[in-house]
Amino acid sequence: MSLKEVFQKNPDRRYIMFGGKGGLGKTTFSAATAYWLASQGKKVLVFSVDPQASLTDIFQKDIFGKGAVPIMENLWAQEIDADKHIKDYQNEIRQKILDMYGFDSVPEEIEDYIAAASAEPAMEESAIFDAVVDIVVKGDYDYYIYDLVPLGHALYYLSMAKVYDEWINKITKLREEMREYETMVSRIKRQKETDEDKILSELQYIKQRINASSSILTDKEKTAFFFVIVPEEMIILDTAKAAELFSKFDVPTAGYVVNRVLPPELRNQVVPAYLQNRLAMQAKYIDKINQTFGNQVLAQVPEMERDVTGLAMIEKLAKIMYA
């Protein structure tokens, strides 16, 4: 089955993810897929959660941190500014503390805690995850094309929904037990019932958002994850391991796209010895890819003559991928 057939036979798959090791072409494939879908009249958002990737460079338009930026008819692109989301998150926490406890200002020790928590290495991933949830739960587009971070970070990102959900469940249970105790004490003292529990409401709100995002990421009817791979031994081995790990998080793998394949017609031409060796090596590893991943290999994309930047090159790549 080809990439085009996969999309045609699964019209309800609105959430498309391209993943793989860094530098293999995830961002360009995301952009080309978004272009192809938009050219068919679908309303599409392509967005990057990889701080190293650059839709700005590919589309030759300033996108970073500016929300959904229009690229062409039916197509928008967005690059998430994790630092801005961390600052917004800090301000949101401060405001909720003021609202919940009636403080005039946030106590110094809490400010110190907020600053320390924001410096944690996981905070950037948390901010990105929260931004993705914001985008996904709105449902403003026909298709959402994710340009994921490299595999190691992607596994962390995809596992966060389950980690958050388990953590929220524990905290919510503790808060409900505290709530029961507070209510009992109020009755014994013949005081009025305690006010609506804002903390418990906030925990339930967070859980609802996480569950909404998690259900999308693991829904085989709505979501498709494509691995980007190149014909090199270590990439093949790493991708096979990653695919196994992804399955443990219930991420629906839809197939594999092989990138940077040298044109086979070169084999019939007089070429330098270096290129002959590269062609032979690629042929061997393409056979290995087909043996390893079988009929889930959906496309082989040739090495392009230059970088894929600008709509003309994106269109050219889209025609190759979805011919």
Between residues 139 and 58, the one the model is more confident about? 58
Between residues 85 and 300, the one the model is more confident about? 300
Reported as type and span, the H/E element at residue 293 is: helix 273-293
58 in the same domain as 147: yes
For residue 199, what pLDDT is reported? Answer: 64
151 in the same domain as 76: yes
In-domain check, residue 198: no
303 in the same domain as 259: yes
In-domain check, residue 193: no
Which value, to the nearest 10 degrees, does the dihedral of the CA atoms of residues 290, 321, 29, 315 take? 160
92 in the same domain as 22: no
Provide mean pLDDT across the span 240-249: 85
For residue 239, what pLDDT is reported? Answer: 93
Please report, for residues 27, 39, 55, 177, the alpha-carbon distance to residue 68 in angstroms, rounded to integers and kept in the order given. 16, 18, 12, 42
**Looking at 69, 98, 122, which one is the last position of a domain?**
122
- What is the band of 2 on the pLDDT scale with cuts at 50, 70, 90? very high
All residues at 6 or more sequence positions from 311 whose CB lies less than 8 Å from its CB, including other chains: 35, 59, 71, 72
Residue 154, pLDDT > 60, answer no
Domain count, the chain: 2
In-domain check, residue 261: yes
Range picked from 41-45, 151-155, 221-225 for highest mean pLDDT: 41-45
76 in the same domain as 136: yes
CA pair distance 36, 142, nearest whole angstrom: 13
96 in the same domain as 32: no
For residue 188, what pLDDT is reported? Answer: 62
Domain that holds residue 293: 3-84+125-156+223-321
Provide mean pLDDT across the span 132-155: 77
303 in the same domain as 257: yes
Which value, to the nearest 10 degrees, does the dihedral of the CA atoms of residues 217, 221, 222, 225 take? 60
For residue 191, what pLDDT is reported? Answer: 52
In-domain check, residue 168: no
Residue 254, pLDDT > 80, answer yes
For the beta sheet containing 297-302, the strands, ordered from the edge strand earlier in sequence to the opposite edge, are 69-72, 75-79, 44-48, 143-147, 15-19, 223-229, 253-261, 297-302
Between residues 180 and 232, the one the model is more confident about? 232
Reported as type and span, the H/E element at residue 143 is: strand 143-147
CA pair distance 238, 24, nearest whole angstrom: 13
CA pair distance 27, 13, nearest whole angstrom: 19
For residue 242, what pLDDT is reported? Answer: 87
In-domain check, residue 163: no
- In whole numbers, what is the pLDDT of the chain averaged over residues? 83
For residue 142, what pLDDT is reported? Answer: 96
Between residues 65 and 100, the one the model is more confident about? 65
All residues at 6 or more sequence positions from 306 whose CB lies less than 8 Å from its CB, including other chains: 313
Q: What is the pTM of this model?
A: 0.80
Residue 9, pLDDT > 90, answer yes
* Range with lowest mean pLDDT among 33-47, 82-96, 257-271: 82-96
236 in the same domain as 98: no
57 in the same domain as 7: yes
41 in the same domain as 100: no
